[in-house]
Structure 1
Amino acid sequence: MGITEIKNILHAMPCVKYLELDILCEIDLVDGHQWESIAINLIRFDFRFRVVRWSACDIAKTNHLNSFRTPFWLEQKRWFVAHDNCKPLTIFTIPRFMPKDLEWPSNNTIEDCTTDIFKPNNYVEHLNLFPTKQSTQVENNFDLRTLIKDKPRLYSLNICNPLSFNILHDKVVYEQIRTLRFSFEQDQSSSSSSFNPEQICAAFPRLECLNISVESLQALCVFIDRLKYLSDAYFRFNFSIKKLCCWRRQRMTRQWFIRHSRRLSHDRYFTSAITDHSVRLWMSDKKESSSSSIFKRIIKWSNK
């Protein structure tokens, strides 16, 4: 998309006050000076320009970003711009297009920004924990509490690091985490590489979504019964310990959950998808159950 096309669109809609552009473009579109006359009457202007052809040096990148450091951008409008080192090169307004996903070890790709007011960690919502290149137990030790403490909006964790089993040893409670995913199969040959279901439930008591491999059907029931806010759960079965023949003997059905889970025996408003290798459950959480109970009492009172 070129500047001429954008001008024509805005000319046809003279009353536009709020504009957002998320487009592929040529580098000549990334010029704050030419945008000043176009955006002068806008109340809000957000953009993410992904440059399709870019072979310039770092100095050229800085010069393009400097065009958004004029008094018009920084003082009059207070619109702030950043660029990253991803491919394609992306130049965007913040906080609207501030990256919300982060990897550890860090992959913070924001190279420069027209202001230091906004801190990238303040906008992180999802954290991926990957193994380091060394992939040894010592090198992959990290303090989860330290990683989380400066990220007030973080609610989702994806643990892709099979050597990170000691992150819960300090019994810290991570109440801000609502979604937890373990993107690897546990190695049952090592006693040190296994999470205790009770330990996970104690560390993440506010979980609403969980994706994990389990060693036994008992562990599955622990998660369902202990995590009272859990509403979306996906359990993968680790057949290195739980043999397929044992799994089939169980004949797991909806009635099996009602018989073996304390929570589901009382609240049967759940849906299940069961295969030979996994179970997916959609359940009502405590809030929904409470709301439903209140609604029923209101209806009953109205009928009286």
Structure 2
Amino acid sequence: MSRPTLRKFKCTIDWLLSDSFIWPRESNIKHLTIDRCTYKQFCTILRHLSQLRTIVLRSFNLDIHNEYEYQSTSYPQLISLSLGRLFLSMDKIESFLCLTPSLVHLRLEGSADDAIFNGSRWEKLIRTKLPSLNRFDFCFRSQNRRVIELSAIQFRTPFWLNEKHWPVNCVYDDIMEEVLLCSTPDFITRLEYNFNGPVVISTTIQNICNGQSSQYFFRRIVELELSQYLLDSLHFTSKLVDFSQVMELRILLSDRQKFISKTQEQLINLLKETNHIRSLKICFEHGFIIDFLLIENICSLVPHHVKHLDIEAKTLADIYLIIERLQHLSSITFRRLPFS
């Protein structure tokens, strides 16, 4: 770590945090990424790495030990901080962020107590303790849906919308039975968007539904699952999800008649927009009629940039047709229909 040319350091093992580790007298490291860290170890790192500008902690223990709880030392060299998989207590986070007064970028992810959803309290903290902060990425999780819904209005003040331009969104994940309060959620890379998937409760992104907003709600989704209902409402869905980032797409078809009359065209448009897609999975609900004509239609939809196909097949003739028509594929998975 004392090499003068070393600027970035990434460590996935614990030896850096060992009490026996000998820190160099001087170090030019500016960017550090480690798997986990405690409050005490965090202070130790910043004390020894005076040139450090950016630190990413994939997992962070915010328990403040007694001997460090009232520590007045600050570390102004740090300008970017990312903390993941932690439990967020607002009292502790306020004390902790006093250590890093020069932050320009802050990223937080984890479960939280109710106080963390107090937008007014965050505004006061940022104004008084983090005056240089211009980017705040966060995703706070809780099972207390009512508290988050009531608190969301506190993030619609001029400070959040006009001064900082930080849109804040409330998403309910029915599968996990959690509510997420997050900045435009780059945190979410996998989305099951159907009747049981995450749904937007409220958002401070203005005009998202009338086409006037250029900011997607989900900007980094790489795995996307859509029901036929959402496919048929593709105009609205395309305002929420940046399809150009999707690499793995799963489609659930439930109505053959609508597929022929409407969904097929929507799917063609979707596959044009998802030009990075490499994997396509097509499922059919019970009662969906599958025949040779349907398989032909599906084969005509699959673009050449798709390399992996996963599909339910009814007969050997269906399998032979897919193999013959889609010779550009690198792999094909055929699944037996659950009702056959």
TM range, normalised to the smaller chain?
A: 0.5 to 0.7
Q: Which residue is 1:270 aligned to?
A: none
Q: Work out whether 1:77 is the aligned partner of 2:164.
A: yes
SS in structure 2 at match of 1:35 = helix
What's the offset of the Cα at 1:31? Answer: 1.2
In structure 2, relative to structure 1, the CA distance for the partners of 1:165 and 1:41 (3 Å cut) is same
Q: Work out whether 1:61 is the aligned partner of 2:145.
A: no
Q: Which residue is 1:194 aligned to?
A: 291
Q: Does the CA-based 8 Å contact 2:102-2:132 persist in structure 1?
A: no
Task: Find the aligned partners of 1:143 and 1:61 in 2 and give their Cα distance.
Answer: 25
Q: Does the CA-based 8 Å contact 2:251-2:283 persist in structure 1?
A: yes
Q: Which residue is 2:314 aligned to?
A: 215
Task: Find the aligned partners of 1:222 and 1:27 in 2 and give their Cα distance.
Answer: 56
> Which of 100, 107, 123 matches 1:20?
107
> Which of 106, 112, 133 matches 1:42?
133
Q: Which residue is 2:234 aligned to?
A: 148
- The range that moved more, 77-86 or 232-241, is 232-241
Number of matched pairs: 222
What's the offset of the Cα at 1:78? Answer: 0.3
Residue correspondence of structure 1 range 278-289 to structure 2 within 5 A: none
Give 1:42's aligned amino acid.
L
Give 2:184's aligned amino acid.
I
Q: Work out whether 1:90 is the aligned partner of 2:180.
A: yes
Task: Find the aligned partners of 1:66 and 1:117 in 2 and give their Cα distance.
Answer: 17
- The range that moved more, 157-166 or 18-27, is 157-166
Give 2:132's aligned amino acid.
N
SS in structure 2 at match of 1:67 = helix
Task: Find the aligned partners of 1:109 and 1:240 in 2 and give their Cα distance.
Answer: 30
What's the offset of the Cα at 1:35? Answer: 1.3
Q: Deviations over 1:246-275 (max 9, x none)?
A: xxxxxxxxxxxxxxxxxxxxxxxxxxxxxx
Give 1:197's aligned amino acid.
I
Q: Does the CA-based 8 Å contact 2:252-2:285 persist in structure 1?
A: no
Task: Find the aligned partners of 2:237 and 2:164 in 1 and give their Cα distance.
Answer: 27
Q: Work out whether 1:110 is the aligned partner of 2:200.
A: yes
SS in structure 1 at match of 2:259 = coil
Task: Find the aligned partners of 1:158 and 1:51 in 2 and give their Cα distance.
Answer: 28
What's the offset of the Cα at 1:197? Answer: 2.7
Q: Deviations over 1:114-134 (max 9, x none)?
A: 23144599456524327xxxx
Q: Work out whether 1:226 is the aligned partner of 2:325.
A: yes
Give 1:18's aligned amino acid.
H
In structure 2, relative to structure 1, the CA distance for the partners of 1:180 and 1:166 (3 Å cut) is farther
Task: Find the aligned partners of 1:208 and 1:184 in 2 and give their Cα distance.
Answer: 21
For structure 1, the 5+ residue unaligned runs are 131-141, 242-304
What's the offset of the Cα at 1:73? Answer: 1.1
Q: Work out whether 1:129 is the aligned partner of 2:217.
A: no
SS in structure 2 at match of 1:167 = helix
Give 1:208's aligned amino acid.
K
- The range that moved more, 177-186 or 73-82, is 177-186
Q: Does the CA-based 8 Å contact 1:210-1:232 persist in structure 2?
A: yes
Task: Find the aligned partners of 1:15 and 1:220 in 2 and give their Cα distance.
Answer: 61
What's the offset of the Cα at 1:27? Answer: 1.0
Q: Does the CA-based 8 Å contact 2:89-2:116 persist in structure 1?
A: yes
What's the offset of the Cα at 1:200? Answer: 0.7
Task: Find the aligned partners of 1:117 and 1:240 in 2 and give their Cα distance.
Answer: 44
Q: Does the CA-based 8 Å contact 2:290-2:314 persist in structure 1?
A: no
SS in structure 1 at match of 2:322 = helix
Q: Does the CA-based 8 Å contact 1:51-1:90 persist in structure 2?
A: yes
Task: Find the aligned partners of 2:332 and 2:131 in 1 and give their Cα distance.
Answer: 49
Q: Does the CA-based 8 Å contact 2:139-2:180 persist in structure 1?
A: yes
Task: Find the aligned partners of 2:193 and 2:170 in 1 and give their Cα distance.
Answer: 18
TM-score, length of structure 2 as denominator length? 0.52
Task: Find the aligned partners of 1:96 and 1:143 in 2 and give their Cα distance.
Answer: 21
SS in structure 2 at match of 1:41 = coil
Task: Find the aligned partners of 1:143 and 1:30 in 2 and give their Cα distance.
Answer: 31
What's the offset of the Cα at 1:91? Answer: 1.5
In structure 2, relative to structure 1, the CA distance for the partners of 1:29 and 1:104 (3 Å cut) is closer
In structure 2, relative to structure 1, the CA distance for the partners of 1:8 and 1:229 (3 Å cut) is farther
Task: Find the aligned partners of 1:40 and 1:236 in 2 and give their Cα distance.
Answer: 56
What's the offset of the Cα at 1:10? Answer: 2.7
